[in-house]
Amino acid sequence: MEYFLNSEGSVVVRDIINEIRSNRDYLGEIDGAIGDGDHGINMNKGFSMAGERINQSHSFSEAAKTLGNVLMMEIGGSMGPLYGTLFKRFFRETKDHDRITAEIVLKMLESALDGVKEIGGADVGDKTMIDTLAPAVSAMRAATISHCSFRDALMKSLEAGREGRDSTKDMVARIGRSARLGERSRGVLDAGAVSCCIIMESMTESIPAILRND
């Protein structure tokens, strides 16, 4: 059985934080094309603040909770509630487990997707982060059912997430600040879809490095 120890997992969250921070300007640029250009700042600020409160001694669940709470309560914007919900769901679905398996990661992603849909009211095709998250969850589910390795499941999930992210390019935004530009929102990636994919990429790098098998 493949798993990583919850107690060893804060690195996964810390890596996500670092990745978001180093993509600050890139995310701002993408948001600037059809949004208001602040996605990089918003993400960087929230993730940095949380980063200061998370260290190696924390578990994955604790780290996710801290990040979720900071985003939810102290960041505002759209990103606060959306990614706040996402990481709080990561916490909620893992907190009772010492060992995090692919099944648990799947549950946590499914729950996060539900939470984000609920609070934001968006769905696949609206040109949002959901266009990354939803296919990533589906692929993770399929991979888990067909008993792929944890690493392969993550890879397949990421691949689907990347395709989902890229699919936003041809979409017309229907939600958020960049919505209702009609045709003018077509041709550019969605900023939230990109940041969500960065999170998936980071997890797909970090988790395999701490996997155990017994």
Name the site residues for other proteins (rule: CB under 8 A). Answer: 28, 31-32, 34-38, 40-42, 45, 72-82, 119-121, 175-181, 184
Is 113 a binding residue for ligand ADP by CB under 6 A? The answer is: no
| Spatial CA neighbour of 174 closest among 120, 100, 94 | 120
| Spatial CA neighbour of 167 closest among 121, 201, 212, 134 | 134
Residue 162 vs 177, nearer CB to other proteins:
177
Residue 100 vs 191, nearer CB to other proteins:
191
3-state secondary structure of 197: helix
Tell me the closest approach of the beta carbon of residue 59 to ligand ADP, in angstroms.
Answer: 28
192 binds, among Mg ion, ligand ADP, other proteins, none (CB under 5 to 8 A by kind): ligand ADP
Kind of pairing between the strands at 99-100 and 212-213: unpaired
Element containing residue 2 per DSSP (H, E): strand 2-5
| Spatial CA neighbour of 194 closest among 166, 214, 158 | 166
Query: x/- contact string, 64-103, with ligand ADP (CB under 6 A)?
Result: -------------xxx--x---------------------
What is the radius of gyration, based on Cα positions, of the chain?
A: 16
Write out the residues near ligand ADP by the rule CB under 6 A: 31, 35-36, 38-39, 42, 77-79, 82, 116, 120-122, 128-130, 175-177, 190-193
